[in-house]
Each structure stands twice: as structure tokens, then as C-alpha cells.
Amino acid sequence: MTKYIEEEPSDAGLMGAIADVGGVTPEALRLLLTLMAGYPIAAVYTKYIAEVPFKTLHHTFFFSCGAGLCYFNYGADTYHSLLGILVTYLLVLFLRHNIKLMIGLNFVFHMTYLLLGYFFTSSNEYDILWTMPHCILVLRLIGFGFDVSDGLKAQEALSNEQKETALPQVPSLLELLAFAYFPSGFLIGPQFPLRRYQNFINGDYRQHEGNVEAGMRRLATGIFYLIVCQVGLSFLPDSYFLTPEFAQVGFIKRIYLLGFWAKFSLYKYISCWLLTEGALIYIGFTYKGKDEHGQPDWSGCSNVKLILLETGNTMEHYVQSFNVNTNQWVGQYIYKRLKFLNNRTISYGAALGFLAIWHGYHSGYYMAFVMEYIVVTTEKQITNFYDKVVLPRYGHFLNNSDVYKVLYFVALKSYNIVYMGWCLAAFVFLKYERWIVVFGAVNYYGFIYLLLWAAFYQSYRHFTRKSSKSNEDVTGAKSKTQ
């Protein structure tokens, strides 16, 4: 398997030497060390600071640790995040009583700054640069602006969700800095509102037990997924799918290889989220309430629903289980804020468009989100057709056939694997010149089968409506003759 892109030389020094031994880039090694640093930070805070009544000490500790880790990763580029936090604080401080102006300026400033950052730094790869934590910060500060504006509204004008995040008082700059740089949340997420941070500092979650054990279990799970990811991608590296060798493999094998590669690629993100979530659980930050057994539920900042991810059969299951906090943020601050449009389709399209723009300029992001919309819509059409047309006619036979049940399970799992490969390819390969090579290597099967279904479904609807109209005309004619 030939390399598509020649690897750049590693940084000099100790970090570069360790990275070379591990077969990763220095940037990736720093990222992993930063995620793991959340655990000793959590241990120090729990033992020495958690019970101290002076909140300033808490804010100073988290700001210092988070900003220090940011500098460890990005050096002088840390100023980008500091500038963003300062601008938002000044906008909130001086313009919060002009809600529309404050929210508008806050939104435009952060999205413009982020997109300019992408423009000047992006390459063909997923870059581990200052823009990576900055895209997390952008959502956090935009959401913070909305929460401040909600705090100025009457309680009856807010939804239950907004009541939980609204900020009736403007925090100090130090508190905002601590919230933005929270050590196990600033680098890759997850998203959480300032109210959660305040509840944590106030000790609202400290009375509940089991967080340390739950955090360590999440850590172990994250390490397991990281190992599986590294082993899997060592056999199926991204570069392989851009080679003539891949295009010459049998078609069925090709689409399954692409599907398994997509699974391993997802594990790269999932492992990082699990590692950072484990640190948040360990420190007691993620309390969600009591579960069905009356035990503390520490999944309040979970960014992945592992059981649904691994047992789901549709693209919608992936959407519901992957990058959960970001999707919830978009739902709360974009989709639901467009309620005045009175059109769910437009709101959903706008939310997906925002997500694509937030990721960057690469065409692969836009293709991936367009495919998500089309595939999820198609799945709903197929489910509707199956429930309303197939089952009423053949349900008795199908539901009592063990052979059919096995075939149904195999078909769904196969679809789950091969279409995930198709949908994720553009997201990973980013540039049109690259992802179109992968699409071509698998004969554009994703487009073809979606078009075939669309042609069948629209034809079926057309003839069904035509037949229904003919029956109504016949019935009407009989009524007149009588």
C-alpha cells in the first residue's frame, strides 16, 4: 500500500523523539498527554481544593491548568482563545441589554474569526492546530451569549431547557476564563453551559458518590477503543483507499473494507471523547441525576452513546449516538432558535449547514452533511414503506419466519457497515480531489442506490395517488347515477 502523502519530519527534541517511537506526530502526542492530564488535575483538585470555600481559588486553578495545557499544545497561538474570551466578555458586559445586537455581534465575530483561522491554516489533513480547540470555544461562547440573553427574559418566556442554562447575572472575567479553559473540556469538548460549571463549583454534585470508579471505567474503555483504532488503521490506513490496489479489489470486498475503515476512523474520535469524559466524571463534573436503579448517573457530559453506536443499524442511530453534546448544542442554540420560521425542514437544513460551516471550508464536510440528510430521509421513507405496505401484506409470514429474521438482521448490519463507509469518506478525506477518488473506487454505489430508491419511491407514490384518484372518480360517478 503506497503512501498518498509523504509524512513531514517530526519536531526536534524530546517530544519529537517520543512521538517517532510511538509512530504518531508530536501534535497528536501532545493532544493525548493533555487528555490524560485531566486525571491528575482532577485528583489534585478533589484532594486539596474542592472543599475550599473561596471560589476565586477554584477559578484560578482551572484557568491556570487549562491555559497552561493550551500553551503546551499551541504555544503563542493561545492568544487566539484569550482574545475570543475577552471580546465576548466585553460584549456581554456593555451590550447585554440590547439582546439582538449583543447576540448578533458575538455570533458574527466568533464565526468570522474561526473561518479566517481555517482559511490561513487548513491543509489536506485534519489539522491539530489552534483552530481545533477554538472551534470548541466558539460554540461555548456563542452559547454563553444566548444564556446571558435568556437570563434577562421573564421565566414564563423560557423553555424548560432555557431555564436550566439561563444566566441572570454576568460572571466575572476570571470565572468565564475558568469555564472556557476547563482542563478536560477546552480541547475537544464536550460542550456544557456555564450553569453546569457554577453548579459544580458550588458543590451541588459533590454529595454523590461513585464518580471516581465510573471515571476509571470510562478511561479503560477509552484506552480499549484507542488500541482498536490504532490496530485497525494500521491494517487499513487512509492512504490505502486512494491507491490503484484498492480499486482493483472485488466490489463486495471493497465496500466492506471501506465500511470497516470507517468504523476504525470513528473510534479515533470516540477514544478521545471517552478519555476526556472519564476525567470529567472522575472530578465529579458530569452528574445528571439518578438512574432507574436510584444510583447516581454520571453521563451528563457524554459525547457518545456506545451501546446505541455499536448495536444500531441505521445512519440515524449514528447521528443519535455520535458527537452527542455538539448535536445537542446545535439543537438548543440553532435549530430551536429558528422556531419562528415554522418549518422543521428549513430549520434542520440550517442546523446541518451551520455544522458544516463550523467544521471548515473543505468540500468533504458539506458532502458528508448532505449525505447525512439524504440518507436519514431515505431511511424514514423505507421504514414508512415497510410499515405501511410490506407488513400489512406479508407481515404474518415474515414475522413467523426464522430465516427471514436472520436475513433481515444480516441485511441491516451490512447496510450499517457499507453505508457508514460511504458517508464518512468525504468527511475524512476532506478535499474533493481526494474523496472523489474514493467514491470512484467503489463505483459511486452510495449515489446509485439512493437514486434507485428515490426513483422507485416517487414512482410508487405517483401511481398510488393516481390509482386513489381514479377510485374516487369511479365512486363519485356511481353515487351520481344512483
Q: Are 301 and 285 in contact (CB under 8 A)?
A: yes
Question: Does the pLDDT at position 11 exceed 70?
Answer: no
Mean pLDDT along residues 138-163: 95
Q: Would you state the cell numbers that stand for residue 176, as one nine-digit string?
A: 468565564
DSSP per-residue string spanning 51-104: T-S-HHHHHHHHHHHHHHHHHHHHGGGGHHHHHHHHHHHHHHHHHTTSHHHHHH
DSSP per-residue string spanning 215-257: HHHHHHHHHHHHHHHHHHHHHS-GGGGGSHHHHTS-HHHHHHH
Amino acid found at 246? F
So what's the pLDDT on residue 478?
58
Q: Is 388 helix (H, G, I), strand (E, B) or coil?
A: helix
Which residue(s) pair with 53 in the sheet? Answer: none
Question: Does the pLDDT at position 7 exceed 70?
Answer: no
Rounded to the nearest integer, the mean pLDDT of the chain is 91
pLDDT band at 3 (very low <50, low <70, confident <90, very high): very low
So what's the pLDDT on residue 375?
94
CA atoms within 13 A on the CB side of 365: 14
pLDDT band at 470 (very low <50, low <70, confident <90, very high): low
Out of 43-52, 278-287, 389-398, 427-436, which region has the weakest mean confidence (pLDDT)?
389-398
Helix (H) or strand (E) holding 289: strand 289-290
Amino acid found at 460? Y
Task: Report how far residue 58's alpha carbon sits from residue 55's, in angstroms, rounded to the nearest whole number.
Answer: 5
CA-only gyration radius of the chain, Å: 25
- The percent of residues above 90 in pLDDT, for the chain, comes to 80
- Phi first, then psi: what are they for 60, rounded to 5°? -65, -40
CA distances from 208 to 266, 271, 296 (A): 32, 26, 7
pLDDT tens for residues 401-443? Answer: 999 999 999 999 999 999 999 999 999 999 999 999 999 999 9
Q: Are 286 and 298 in contact (CB under 8 A)?
A: yes
CA atoms within 13 A on the CB side of 25: 12
Task: Pick the more confident residue, 130 or 478.
Answer: 130
Q: Is the pTM of this model over 0.85?
A: yes
Estimate to the nearest angstrom the gap between the alpha carbon of 245 and the chain centroid.
Answer: 32
Out of 24-28, 268-272, 358-362, which region has the weakest mean confidence (pLDDT)?
24-28
Task: Report how far residue 48's alpha carbon sits from residue 30's, in angstroms, rounded to the nearest whole number.
Answer: 26
So what's the pLDDT on residue 339?
86
Q: Is the peptide bond before 190 cis (omega within 30 degrees of 0)?
A: yes
Q: Is 152 helix (H, G, I), strand (E, B) or coil?
A: coil
- Longest distance between any two alpha carbons in the chain, whole Å: 96
pLDDT tens for residues 300-311? Answer: 999 999 999 999
Q: Is the peptide bond before 40 cis (omega within 30 degrees of 0)?
A: no
Task: Pick the more confident residue, 35 or 396.
Answer: 35
Question: Does the pLDDT at position 20 exceed 70?
Answer: yes
pLDDT band at 8 (very low <50, low <70, confident <90, very high): very low
Question: Does the pLDDT at position 473 exceed 60?
Answer: no
pLDDT band at 2 (very low <50, low <70, confident <90, very high): very low
Task: Report how far residue 101's alpha carbon sits from residue 404's, in angstroms, rounded to the nearest whole number.
Answer: 59
Residues known to be catalytic: 323, 359
pLDDT tens for residues 53-75? Answer: 999 999 999 999 999 999 999 99
Mean pLDDT along residues 169-183: 97
Mean pLDDT along residues 95-108: 95
Residues recorded for the chain: 482
